[in-house]
A and B are shown apart, each in its own frame.
Chain A
C-alpha cells in the first residue's frame, strides 16, 4: 500500500460497507488501537534545526527509522523531542519523503553523504522519483568510478596470494603493476613499430645500381628484411602464446578482438613459410603480405585513445550507416543522370553507369580529379548540381558522428549503455518486489495473525504474543480490510507461486489419501499446500449430505479448519458442486476444492456453522479445535 494514501485508509474501510450485505460469512474482528492516541505533533531536532510533523505522517512508512519504534532510541526526555545528530539539509529531503511519498535527490548534495543519510534513516534509494533518478544514478556511477580508480592504484600493491598465471595476466593487462610488465609493454611496442616500419621501408626503392633500375629495398636486402620479419614474428608469437596461457578464460580470450588482430598479424608469415615452394600461388602470397599491416592495430593495446575511437565508430554505426546509405542513393541518381546526359557526346568517358559512379563520387566529395569531365551542357549543369548537393549530403551526418565521438571520449566508458540497462532492470525489479511485498505482507501477516489468535487460545503469555505483532496499526487495518473482502467473496488471496502450484497439483492429484499432516512447521509456511492434503475419512456422516461421493475432509495443521459440505450455506455450494470425477479432468479449476468454509475456531459457540454435525470427524469438534491449534502453535 502506498503510504501516501494512508490517510485514505478510513475511507477504504468505510467503502467496505458495500460488501457487508452481500457477504454470507461473518466478518473478522477489526483491529483496535490499544492506546488510541490523538494525532499529535512531534518535534524532530536535527542538529539544532527543529522539524515538526504529525506522528501519522511518520507512521506511513513503518519499516524506516522514523516510522518504527527505532526512533525511541533518540528520544530526549527533558526536551520531549527526538534528537538526531545528522545533517539537517539532507533531512529536509527525507522528511519530504514522508510528507509527499516521493523521494527527491537535491543536486547540490554530495552523493555519498546523501547515501549515508538514506542508509541511516532506513530508506532504500531505489524509490527516488523518476524526476531525480537519472541524476542520482549518474552521480553514483561517476563516484563509483572515481573510487575505483583510486582503489586500483592502492590495490595493486597488495594481493599476495595470486597464482603465477594470475600475476602474468595482470601484468599483461596493466603494465604499471611491475617493472617486468613495463619492460614487456615497451618491448612489444617497440617491435610493433619496428615491424611496421620494416614493411614500409621494404617497398622504398633503394639506391640503384648502375646496371639495374630502382629496386625496392626489400629485394635488395632480402636476407636482412627476412631476419627482421622473423624476429618480429617470433616476438609476437611468444607474446600471443603467453597471453593465451595466462588468460583466465581461454575461450573468451580467443574470441576477443585483440587476439584476432594478433593472429591475423602473424599468420601471413607462417603461411608464407609453408608456401614458398609453390610458385603458382606466389601471387596469393604477395597479397597475404598486405595483412601484415594489421600489426599496426596491435598498437591499440597501448593506446587508450585508439580503443575509444574504435568504440565510437562501433557505437555510431547507425549514423555511419545512414551516411553511407544516403551517399549511395545520391551516387546512383547522379551517375544515371550524368550517363544519359553525356551519352550523346563523342569520346565521352562516361561509358556506363558504373563508370559514372567514379565521377559522381569524386565530384560529390569535392575531390575533382579531372580524369572524367562532362562535355555537354546538360552534363555540366547536372555536374554542378551534383557537386553542390555532395557538400550537403556529407555535411549532414558528420556533426552527429562528431558529437557522439566527443561525448564518448569525455565519458570514457566502455559498456556504459549495457550497464545502465542492467541497473534499470535491477531497479524496476526492486520496486516490483516491494510492490508485491504489499500483497505478500498481507499473506504473511494473515498467518501471523492466525498464529496470534492461536496463541490467544492457548493462553500464551503477553510477551509471546507481542513478539509476533510486528505489523503497525495501519497495516493491520489494511489487512483486516482485505480479510473482509475474502470473507465477502468466500475466496482467499494467495500468492502467484502457490496459485500455480495449486493448478498443477490440482490437475495431477487424484484422491490419493494422504495422512493428515499435522506438521506444524510445514503448516505455517504453506498453509495453502497443506490444505490440500486430503484424507478420505471413512466416518463422515456429512458425506450423506454432499451431492457426490465422499469428499475428503481436508485437515489443516494451521488454524483453519475446513468444514466439509454445508448445503445450508449457499456459498459453499458452488465448490461443492464439483464432482470428484471432475477432478480427474486435468483442469486446474476442477481438480480442487471440496470444502469452502474457512473459519477460525474462536469462541466455539458463536461459529454459525454450529456443531450440528455431531461427532463426525475429530477435527470438526470445536474442543478438538483447540488441540489442533495447539499443535500448530508449536
Chain B
C-alpha cells in the first residue's frame, strides 16, 4: 500500500473517531508530556520564611505531594480538592478566589511555597496579618479597596457553597442583603468602598470577628 493511502485511511479513521481537530491540526489523544515538575526549596529555607515547625512542614508537604505529584496545583485541581469538602454546594467560585489569593506571583499555579506562605499567615500570623490576608482575598482586583460588586461576588460564592437544600430556603437576595449589612458595618465614611484601614478598624471593633480569628490557632 502506498504511503498516501495510509495517510488517507488514517485521516478517515480520525474523522470517524472524532478525535481529530482539523482547526488546530492536533489530535486530542496526544498526551501532554507533563514536564512541569516543581520542587520546593529546602526545608530549612521554608522554615525560616514561614512560622511552621519542621514536622508541620513535613506533614503539609506529604499531603500536598500526594494530591499533586507534579509539585504545583493548577486551578482545576484546586477547585476539585476544595469541592470534596462541600458535597452539597458549589464551591468552585470561592475556590477560584482562594486560588487567586494563594497565587501571589500570578503564574496560574500554586506551588508548595505559595501554599505554605499563605497557610503560615492564616494559621500562624498575627490577627492583623490575618485580616490583611482576608482583605486581600476580598479585593479581587487588588486595588486596595473593596467595592460592593467585589463583595457581592464573594458573598455569592460563599452562599453557593451551601447548595440548594438549606433551612431556611435560600432567597435570591440573601447575598445582597448580607453585603449591605457588611458595608454598613465596615464603610465608615460611606464612600461605597471599604479600604484596608476601614476594614481592619471595623474588624478590631467587632468581638465576634476577633474571636473567630482565634479559631485558626489550632488548625495544625
Q: Which residues of A contact B (CB under 8 A)?
A: 1-2, 4-27, 30, 32, 38-39, 54, 56, 435-436, 438-439, 478, 481-482, 484-486, 488-489, 491-496, 498-499, 502-503, 506, 528, 531, 570-571, 573-575, 588-589, 592-593, 596, 608
Contacts and interface: CB of A to CB of B under 8 A. Distances in A.
Interface of B: 55, 59-60, 62-64, 66-67, 81-82, 84-88, 94, 97-98, 115, 118-119, 122-123, 130-131, 133-134, 137-138, 151, 154-155, 158-159, 161-171, 173-174, 177-178, 181-182, 184, 199, 203, 207-209, 211-213, 215-216, 218-220
B166 A18 contact: no
A13 B63 CA distance: 15
A4 B87 contact: no
Contacts of B67: 4-5, 7-8
Given A8-B81, A493-B162, A571-B181, A21 B167 contact: no
A502 B167 contact: yes
5 contacts: A10-B219, A14-B122, A20-B134, A478-B85, A488-B158
A26 B208 contact: yes
B203 A21 contact: yes
A11 B168 contact: no
Contacts, number: 178
Given A11-B119, A21-B199, A485 B219 contact: no
Interface of B is mostly: helix
B213 A14 contact: no
A491 B66 contact: no
A493 B165 contact: yes
B55 A12 contact: no
Interface of A is mostly: helix
A17 B151 CA distance: 15
Given A12-B85, A20-B213, A485-B158, A491 B208 contact: no
Given A17-B137, A21-B199, A592 B178 contact: no
Q: Which of B87, B122, B137, B199 has the largest count of A CB atoms less than 10 A from its CB?
A: B87
Nearest to A481: B85
A438 B137 contact: no
Top 10 A-B residue pairs of the complex, sorted by shortest distance between their CB atoms? A7-B63, A593-B168, A570-B181, A499-B165, A491-B166, A27-B212, A14-B122, A20-B212, A492-B167, A494-B167
A16 B134 CA distance: 10
Contacts of B130: 17
Given A439-B88, A495-B165, A17 B82 contact: no
B170 A491 contact: yes
A5 B81 contact: yes
A592 B168 contact: yes
B196 to A, nearest CB: 12
Nearest to A32: B218
B123 A499 contact: no
Nearest to A592: B168
A213 B159 CA distance: 99
B219 A13 contact: yes
Contacts of A436: 87
Contacts of A13: 216, 219
A482 B64 CA distance: 22
Contacts of B211: 26-27
A495 B177 CA distance: 25
